[in-house]
Structure 1
Amino acid sequence: MQMSRTVAAFLLGLAAFMVFEWISLGFNLADGHETSFYVVHGILIGVNLVLALVLGAIGVRGLRGGKRVR
C-alpha cells in the first residue's frame, strides 16, 4: 500500500515537532524537583524521540515512494 505525499509530509512535520518539543522541554526543566520527576520525564523524552525517529523514517520512505535505496 502506498502513502500519499501529504501523509508522508505530515509524518515528517510531526516528527520534527516532536523532536523540537521534547528537546526544548528537556532544556527547560527547572531545578528543585524530586529525582522521580526527572526519571519520568527522561523516559518520556527518550520514548518520544524514538517515536519521532520511526515516524520520520516512515515519512521519508513515503516520500520516496516506498523504494529502498541501497
Structure 2
Amino acid sequence: MGLGDKIQNKATEVTGRVKENVGRTTDNPDLEAEGQAEQAKAGLKQAGEHIKDAARDITGRH
C-alpha cells in the first residue's frame, strides 16, 4: 500500500470518527450513522490494502 493510500484511508477514518461523535453529541442519528459508515469504508479499504501487501510479500513482487 502506498503512503498516499494509507494517509487517505486514515483521514477518512478520522473524519468518520469526528462525524460520529458530532452526531452523537448533537443528537443527530443521520450524521452519526454517516460517520460510522465512513469508518467502516476506511477499514475495508485498509484491510484490502493489507491483503495486497501480504500477497506481494509472499510472491516477492513489488
Q: Distance in 1 between matches of 2:8 and 2:46?
A: 8
How many Å apart are 1:60 and its aligned residue?
Answer: 1.1
Give the TM-score, by structure 1 length. 0.57
Larger radius of gyration: 1
Where in structure 1 are there 5+ consecutive unaligned residues?
1-7
Instruction: Give the share of equivalent positions with the same residue, in percent.
Output: 4
The CA RMSD measured in Å over matched residues stands at 2.4
| Structure number with higher relative contact order (C-alpha < 8 Å, ≥ 6 residues apart) | 1
Aligned counterpart in structure 2 of residue 45 of structure 1, from 14, 25, 35: 35
Give the helix-richer structure, 1 or 2. Answer: 2
Where in structure 2 are there 5+ consecutive unaligned residues?
none
Q: Distance in 1 between matches of 2:20 and 2:36?
A: 10
Paired residues, number: 55
Q: Which residue of 2 aligns with 1:11?
A: 5
